[in-house]
């Protein structure tokens, strides 16, 4: 186990630096476009552009890695990200920022394809749960840490953009000097949407709603806090509370879903999220502590929808189809992640905080209602037959899900003991 942690050290270090800068950039973009006074439509397109690029990258980057190798793709995407980050300081036209945001999403997808597929190879047949938990902790912890680093910079300043670009460049160093052998890319197969929906109608709609919620929380929530009069420093603390809420809540909610069942857990999570959204409409958000509480609870509940919906999918899909189902799961999630910021920013601009809260509360409320309908018409899997819950990082690529130890039994079906496997074979 120690050998696994040490060998994955360079990849986890790159992850920490990359995600820290990425978290800073996400919040910076939201606040700078507000400073620039973009129109409602321009703001919506710019915020949604990142997830468009992310979806394109998740679809195409695997082929680039197969063709050019992990280190070359990482170097190329890191260089692209450095240049795009610096160009964001120079170019402030909405169309320019839309294209730059698409490029950011595309590059981020490539970087995570490299990191996640490499970690998956290192963890083959041993230590997957430990490595996944460590990766999740570092990813979400670095996202939260990035919000705190933002407090030391003037929002939209050259120093801020230069620092983020430098961090993206620095994330390349551990990757370049790692002595682990580059892994081979697995085939990126996907289950058809119709088969996916038939197998897991609740998991399918759950992944769509989780995309809406996560996309909105990460992209639109800074604008939400700015809309109620908070400064850039206060917004950084607010986003930290949201992300830490999501990180802290994963394990207890996961354990609850193991005992209570996935369907009832989704019903509870979404009902509580809708209640928090309604409370946000009624309570005085001008109060700093009320705002922090609303943000922390939305993060704790909203970021838990994805792992519970994914666990539900793993429970009900045939073992040999889990990997392909997960690929389709991420595509559906990506559609929601594009729609969430697009609609959420429109409603925030048109109706203020009530608009965004109504959008998110309505989305989670519809999932709660759907969980009741599905549970009433479809027998639930007995709790003792469920796969154990595992925490997951914020989704970017299919490769990260291959770290999930729940996939081990499927991998063992295809494992040939006569052939050498793993990065340590010589």
Distance CA 405, CA 226 (A): 41
Topology of the domain covering 189-396+403-408: Growth Hormone; Chain: A; (1.20.1250)
Distances (CA, A) of 350 to 286, 320, 341: 19, 47, 14
Ranges of each domain in the chain: 8-180, 189-396+403-408
What DSSP character marks residue 155? T
CA distance 219 to 23: 10
CA separation (Å) from 100 to 45, 104, 105, 164?
12, 6, 9, 15
* DSSP 8-class letter at 405: G
Do 200 and 328 touch, CB atoms closer than 8 A?
Answer: no
Give the H or E element holding residue 302: helix 288-302
**Alpha helix (H) residue ranges in 36-127:** 40-68, 70-90, 94-122
**DSSP label of 220:** T
C-alpha 70/C-alpha 41 separation (Å) is: 37
Looking at residue 181, what is its pLDDT? 63
Q: What pLDDT does residue 280 have?
A: 94
Q: Cα(181)–Cα(190) distance, rounded to whole angstroms?
A: 27
Lookup: tokens for 84: 């795009």
For residue 398, the model assigns a pLDDT of 47
| Tokens found for residue 219 | 């992209």
Q: Tell me which residue has tokens 């509940």.
A: 301
What Cα–Cα distance (Å) separates residue 3 from each residue in 8, 13, 127? Answer: 8, 16, 10
The pLDDT profile of the chain, 426 residues, written as one tens digit per residue, is 667 677 788 888 999 999 999 999 999 999 999 888 888 888 889 988 998 998 888 778 778 888 888 889 999 999 999 999 999 999 989 999 999 999 999 999 888 888 877 776 776 545 555 676 677 788 888 999 999 999 999 999 999 999 999 999 999 999 888 776 666 655 555 567 788 788 889 988 998 999 999 999 998 999 999 999 999 999 999 999 999 998 888 778 877 877 878 888 899 999 999 999 999 999 999 999 999 999 999 999 999 898 888 778 777 777 666 666 766 777 788 889 889 999 999 999 899 999 999 999 999 999 999 999 988 886 655 555 555 555 565 665 544 455 455 455 444 334 344 443 333 333
pLDDT at site 115? 82
Provide the pLDDT for residue 416: 42
Rounded Cα distance between 2 and 130, Å, is 11
H helix or E strand, kind and range, residue 140: helix 128-150
Instruction: Please state the separation of Cα 162 from the chain's center in Å.
Output: 25
Fold of the 8-180 domain: Growth Hormone; Chain: A; (1.20.1250)
Q: What is the pLDDT of residue 123?
A: 60
Q: Do residues 148 and 364 make contact, with C-beta atoms less than 8 angstroms apart?
A: no
Query: Residue 306 and residue 340: Cα distance in Å, rounded?
Result: 14
Q: Judge if 8-180 and 189-396+403-408 fold alike in CATH terms.
A: yes
Neighbours of 12 (CB within 10 A): 18
User: Side-chain half-sphere of 124: how many Cα atoms within 13 Å?
Assistant: 18
Residues counted in the chain: 426
pLDDT at 194: 81
With beta carbons less than 8 A apart as the criterion, state whether 22 and 75 touch.
Answer: no
Which residues, including other chains, have CB under 8 Å from residue 239's CB and lie 6 or more apart?
A: 27, 144, 147, 221, 222, 225, 295
Q: Within 303-386, where are the H helices?
A: 305-316, 322-351, 353-377
Closest CA to 11 of 299, 301, 399: 399
CA 141 centroid distance within chain: 13
Closest to 383 in 3D by CA, of 312, 320, 322, 317: 312
pLDDT for 412? 39
Let me know: does 207 contact 310? Beta carbons within 8 Å.
yes
Cα-Cα-Cα-Cα dihedral sign, residues 331, 337, 206, 388 = positive
E strand or H helix that includes residue 211:
helix 201-219
- Rounded to a whole number of angstroms, the distance between the first and last alpha carbons of the chain is 20
Q: Cα 288 to chain center, whole Å?
A: 27
Rounded Cα distance between 169 and 84, Å, is 12
Tell me which DSSP letter residue 180 carries.
Answer: S
Sign of the C-alpha dihedral, residues 134, 137, 143, 145?
Answer: negative
């Amino acid at each position: 186990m120690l050998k696994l942690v040490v060998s994955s050290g360079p990849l986890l270090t790159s992850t920490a630096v990359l995600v820290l800068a990425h978290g800073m950039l996400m919040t910076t973009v939201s606040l700078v476009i507000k400073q620039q006074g973009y129109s409602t439509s321009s703001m919506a397109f710019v915020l949604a552009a990142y997830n468009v690029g992310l979806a394109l990258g998740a679809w195409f980057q695997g082929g680039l890695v197969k063709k050019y190798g992990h280190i070359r793709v990482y170097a190329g995407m890191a260089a692209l990200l450095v240049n795009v980050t610096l160009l964001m300081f120079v170019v402030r036209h909405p169309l320019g920022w839309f294209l730059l945001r698409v490029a950011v999403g595309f590059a981020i997808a490539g970087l995570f394809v490299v990191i996640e597929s490499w970690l998956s190879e290192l963890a083959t047949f041993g230590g997957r749960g430990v490595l996944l938990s460590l990766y999740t902790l570092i990813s979400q912890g670095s996202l939260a840490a990035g919000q705190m680093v933002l407090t030391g910079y003037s929002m939209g300043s050259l120093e801020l953009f230069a620092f983020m670009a430098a961090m993206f460049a620095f994330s390349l160093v551990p990757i370049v000097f790692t002595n682990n052998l580059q892994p081979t890319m697995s085939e990126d197969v996907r289950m058809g949407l119709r088969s996916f929906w038939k197998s897991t109608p609740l998991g399918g709609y759950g992944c769509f709603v989780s995309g809406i919620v996560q996309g909105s929380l990460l992209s639109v929530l800074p604008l939400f806090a700015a809309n109620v009069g908070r400064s850039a420093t206060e917004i950084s603390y607010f986003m930290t509370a949201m992300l830490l809420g999501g990180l802290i809540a994963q394990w207890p909610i996961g354990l609850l879903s193991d005992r209570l069942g996935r369907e009832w857990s989704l019903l509870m999570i979404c009902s509580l999220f809708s209640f928090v959204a309604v409370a946000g409409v009624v309570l005085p958000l001008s109060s700093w502590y009320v705002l922090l509480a609303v943000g922390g609870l939305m993060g704790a509940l909203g970021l838990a929808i994805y792992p519970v919906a994914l666990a539900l999918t793993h429970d009900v899909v045939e073992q040999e189809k889990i990997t392909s189902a997960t690929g389709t799961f991420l595509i559906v999630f990506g559609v929601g992640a594009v729609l969430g910021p697009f609609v959420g920013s429109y409603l925030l601009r048109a109706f203020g905080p009530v608009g965004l809260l109504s959008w998110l509360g309505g989305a989670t409320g519809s999932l709660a209602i759907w969980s009741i309908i599905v549970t009433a018409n479809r027998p639930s899997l007995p709790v003792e037959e469920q796969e154990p819950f595992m925490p997951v990082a914020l989704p970017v690529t299919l490769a990260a899900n291959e770290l999930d130890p729940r996939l081990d039994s499927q991998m063992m079906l295809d494992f040939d003991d006569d052939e050498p496997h793993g990065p340590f074979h010589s």
